[in-house]
Structure 1
Amino acid sequence: MDKGKEALVVCSDKSMGIGITIWDLDTGDHLLHIPTCASPSHGLLCLRNQFLVASQIHKHGSVGGGAIFTWALNKPQSPLRSYPVEAIGSLSCTKDGLYLAGGALSGNAYLWEISNGRLLKTWHAHHKSLNCLLFSNDDSLLISGSDDGMICVWPAISLLDMEDSGSSPSLLHYSSEHRSSITGLLTTSSSSISVLVSSSLDGTCKVWDFVSGRLIQTQVYPLAITAIVLHPEEQLLFCGSVDGSIFVNKLDIGLLEDPFFIAEAQPVVLKGHNGGITALTFSELGLISASEDCTICMWDVVNWVIIRRFNHGKGAVTNLTVIPQSSLHSVSNHQRVSNQFHVSLLDKYPQPANSFKGTITPPSLCHSYEEKQTSLDFRSTDSLQQHIFDLEKKRTPEAVQMKVETCIENRMWATRMTKHVMEMNKHLQTRLLDLMECRMFWPTEIDIPTSKKREILKFESSLLEGEEKPQSSS
């Protein structure tokens, strides 16, 4: 297998026995089968091109019916099996692979630290099943979509607030514009604003400024939309529907700021499936679509034709992801230093900060980790930073773990500072509103004495400087 080649990873939710199938995208050859996996839509992801993580919807050793399996891609026969307190559907991870978010059928959301499996936060995010989870491109926000049509945006800094892990995180904003289940979420930051695109069974795709929560435009389709994906250049939006059609629209938001705008341009329609579209993704070779008809198509998006078809006769594909074929190779000695990364069993319940479980690492790294693993006291001091620097020269597991702990401490400090700033802003806004109310009742045609004008100007200046309101005679 050439280093630059890609592999297609697919799975179904029909039966645990079907498992995961991996194909060579260039030739269509079958590369690998991983048994024992049945994952719902949005329930499969690739972590740092080294691990596959999949939520399981069938009972398999868990009282609550939930399970999350993790496979090392270079030796996927024996997964790491974690059993959350309830069944998890959708999954999402940060770009750096440090954190994993999971959404439950109950509407609850969970956040784990992957390196030690610690459950950092659990909260009731939605009233109905949580269908989609997505971290923003810079990992600063977690976006969730539900069966109730709601979309919520959660600041990551509040999710990582370790001082009060039992409380619900702060909600940046939410939307109830969709009238049916959310089926897809994706983000792009190529334009002047950070854009979120959401799809729903109500037959619409909506484009948002997800930082402010402002609705930019709505695209209406004649059918329920079941999956969406953006072209890598982020100019074309592909929307799969319940009858197997794929609508292709130009994502042109420009300077448009009218939330009531409805895109009316006739989209290109791709037809190659006999069942509803279940998943969409992109590879270097083109668009890839999966359907309830148990087929997977790879499309040339220039000529709009199918260039390869895969048959998955064991059930409708619910998840697609593309990985480098080099991820399936055994890790060489040279790669040990640069690619070292491990994951742990995910906690079912919140655990003390210093509680750690066994980890799973690529087999070629296990020996090195066992030899050098030690118990360290992590403190945010100058000596700690020097210790990390010294360990980094050797690329030891201790260095990786210490950097993670230091990152958490820094984020806790940032959380406290953010809360303080937010409280100050709230106080200042309240005082400014009081001033505006007073000025609304000032007579406009009466000449105000110079002494009073000076007193008013001094009052306004004190507000901007954060001083106490001066006492003035009426």
Structure 2
Amino acid sequence: MSDTLEVLYTSDLSEQQWSCCAWDYKTATSLMVYKGGGAVNARCFCFVGNSHIISANSAKPLFHVWPINSQEQISSVRFVAPGKANALAISPDGNYLVAGIQETLYIWQISSGRMLANLSKHYQAITCIKFTDDGSHFVSAGLDGGVLVWNLPQVICNGDHNQEPLYSFNDHGLSVTDVHIGSGGIRAYLYSVSLDRTCKIYDLSSGTLLLNIVFTESLSCVASNNLETSVHVGTTEGQIYEFYINSLPRTKEYHMTKENVNKYLGHKGTVSCLALSVDGETLVSGGEDAQVHLWHIPSKQLIRTLAHRGPISNVVLSLRKLSAFGPENTFLNMFTNNLKRMMDSADADESHTIDVLVEENDDDDEFDITHQITNRSFVAGPAALGSNTEEVETLRQEIKKLKNINRKLFSISTKNILNS
């Protein structure tokens, strides 16, 4: 165990030095830098097993993969997504990749690159995706204020975009900015924070809201220690608050004030991400002020600051052996095929389904959408195919207009509420 240490991984949005970096945070020593992946989007940094790192580009519809011990990313296969990813998660066993692109969830099998499912149950862009520690379920949250819990095996087996989530939590009034899932699989607690100034705690086994904690500022990120006795939340005003679960009154809703909560002061601007060390002694916070702060939790003192070139998008702590960064190590490449941008026709009922490929330009993102037309009495002749293609194109344009109107209305109403 003497060779094992807790490594801090950070990324920012500057794209000037590297895409992400591994640190020995106790000595502020850089262990490895990962280059060529552009700026890494927030909530889009994950590990694939113990051997690889995957991230999503903040400006392009691309995923980037690096071996743990290499500065250069894998170039043998292409990781092109249907659009720019807002959120990314890898199952704990390293077999499945889930990405949130606008308001749709896409699920791939990593080894084959096959798209297994796409789910469209959010009404606004997805902001965060997290797996339970056993990999049986995952949670997605979005700008629409919804937090959806999905059963992974059920989603993969059905592959239906109309499939319903296991639970739908719609208690937040504004955008959900982050979620955290404790240990215990489906019996774990789920913590969600939002711009509506609340942190909500759910019981995943029963799908019930246990506690609603109201703060005086909008919340941007959340993390808890391994025992889940204390919870840390970051705010859009630069504060980090800590509260203890066991000390809260046994009420359904509790209002936190600046006097009855522990806080960490040091960031200027929004606190974008948080991470806690395994021993519960160190808190790592990243902010839009391009600073990564390391705090000593018992004393609430700032230990060290790691300066970056741009707003911090991700901070992640992970146990690693120092020897893993040695160039002599060779890891098995689990990425053998390009990621498919649509579901295989073999996954659908070929006798009743036609896949029509339509090019769509949505703001800055260009991606293909597969429209599946199901009609048991439909005969796929050339004339009929052309007629239905025109109908699909007309409907697609109408949907695009409605989505743009909905986004503008949501953005305006959110700004008015926050400014009032």
TM-score (norm 2): 0.74
Contact 1:134 1:185 (8 Å CA) reproduced:
yes
Structure 1 residue 252: Cα displacement:
3.1
Within the candidate set 147, 150, 165, 2:146 is matched to 150
C-alpha spacing 1:346/1:221, structure 2 compared with 1 (3 Å): same
Instruction: Give the aligned partner of residue 392 of structure 1.
Output: none
Residue type matched to 1:350 in 2? M
**1:252 and 1:191 mapped to 2: Cα distance?**
21
Instruction: Give the aligned partner of residue 307 of structure 2.
Output: 311
Instruction: Give the aligned partner of residue 335 of structure 2.
Output: 343
C-alpha spacing 1:138/1:39, structure 2 compared with 1 (3 Å): same
Instruction: Give the aligned partner of residue 45 of structure 2.
Output: 44
**1:123 and 1:240 mapped to 2: Cα distance?**
30
Please state if 1:246 is matched with 2:273. Answer: no
Residue type matched to 1:248 in 2? E
Structure 1 residue 111: Cα displacement:
0.7
Structure 1 residue 132: Cα displacement:
0.7
C-alpha spacing 1:191/1:109, structure 2 compared with 1 (3 Å): closer
Residue type matched to 1:19 in 2? S
Contact 1:23 1:30 (8 Å CA) reproduced:
yes
Question: Structure 2: 5+ residue runs without aligned partners?
Answer: 348-420
Within the candidate set 194, 198, 202, 1:204 is matched to 198
Instruction: Give the aligned partner of residue 84 of structure 2.
Output: 87
Structure 1 residue 75: Cα displacement:
2.0
Structure 1 residue 197: Cα displacement:
0.7
Residue type matched to 2:219 in 1? I
**1:24 and 1:349 mapped to 2: Cα distance?**
40
Structure 1 residue 190: Cα displacement:
6.0
Contact 1:39 1:89 (8 Å CA) reproduced:
no
SS at match of 2:268: coil
Instruction: Give the aligned partner of residue 54 of structure 1.
Output: 55
Contact 2:215 2:256 (8 Å CA) reproduced:
no
Contact 1:207 1:216 (8 Å CA) reproduced:
yes
Instruction: Give the aligned partner of residue 376 of structure 2.
Output: none
Moved more, 261-270 or 286-295: 261-270
Within the candidate set 124, 132, 138, 2:134 is matched to 138
C-alpha spacing 1:261/1:288, structure 2 compared with 1 (3 Å): same
Structure 1 residue 350: Cα displacement:
1.8
Within the candidate set 96, 100, 103, 1:103 is matched to 100
5 Å-filtered alignment, 1:332-371, equals 332=329, 340=332, 342-344=334-336, 345-351=338-344
Instruction: Give the aligned partner of residue 261 of structure 1.
Output: 253
C-alpha spacing 1:158/1:330, structure 2 compared with 1 (3 Å): same
5 Å-filtered alignment, 1:461-472, equals none
Instruction: Give the aligned partner of residue 293 of structure 1.
Output: 289
Structure 1 residue 154: Cα displacement:
1.3
C-alpha spacing 1:290/1:212, structure 2 compared with 1 (3 Å): same
Structure 1 residue 30: Cα displacement:
2.2
Instruction: Give the aligned partner of residue 25 of structure 1.
Output: 25
**2:222 and 2:241 mapped to 1: Cα distance?**
9
Structure 1 residue 14: Cα displacement:
3.9
SS at match of 1:207: strand
**2:45 and 2:225 mapped to 1: Cα distance?**
20
Structure 1 residue 121: Cα displacement:
0.6
Within the candidate set 126, 139, 146, 2:122 is matched to 126
**1:254 and 1:116 mapped to 2: Cα distance?**
48
Residue type matched to 2:317 in 1? V
C-alpha spacing 1:320/1:210, structure 2 compared with 1 (3 Å): same
Contact 1:216 1:253 (8 Å CA) reproduced:
no
Which deviations, in whole Å up to 9, do the C-alpha atoms of 1:331-373 show, x marking residues without a partner? Answer: 54xxx7xx7462243221223679xxxxxxxxxxxxxxxxxxx
**Higher Rg of the two aligned structures:** 1
Residue type matched to 2:92 in 1? K
Q: How many residues align?
A: 337
C-alpha spacing 1:70/1:2, structure 2 compared with 1 (3 Å): farther
**2:62 and 2:183 mapped to 1: Cα distance?**
33
Moved more, 165-174 or 179-188: 165-174
Structure 1 residue 92: Cα displacement:
1.0
Instruction: Give the aligned partner of residue 280 of structure 1.
Output: 274
Which deviations, in whole Å up to 9, do the C-alpha atoms of 1:249-279 show, x marking residues without a partner? Answer: 01239995x5x42254721011121221011
Q: Which has the higher helix share?
A: 1
Instruction: Give the aligned partner of residue 179 of structure 1.
Output: 173
C-alpha spacing 1:255/1:211, structure 2 compared with 1 (3 Å): farther
Instruction: Give the aligned partner of residue 412 of structure 1.
Output: none
Structure 1 residue 2: Cα displacement:
6.3
SS at match of 2:173: coil
Question: Structure 1: 5+ residue runs without aligned partners?
Answer: 60-65, 355-474
TM-score (norm 1): 0.66
Q: Which has the higher strand share?
A: 2
**RMSD (CA atoms):** 2.6
Contact 1:299 1:308 (8 Å CA) reproduced:
yes
Residue type matched to 1:273 in 2? H
Contact 1:20 1:34 (8 Å CA) reproduced:
yes
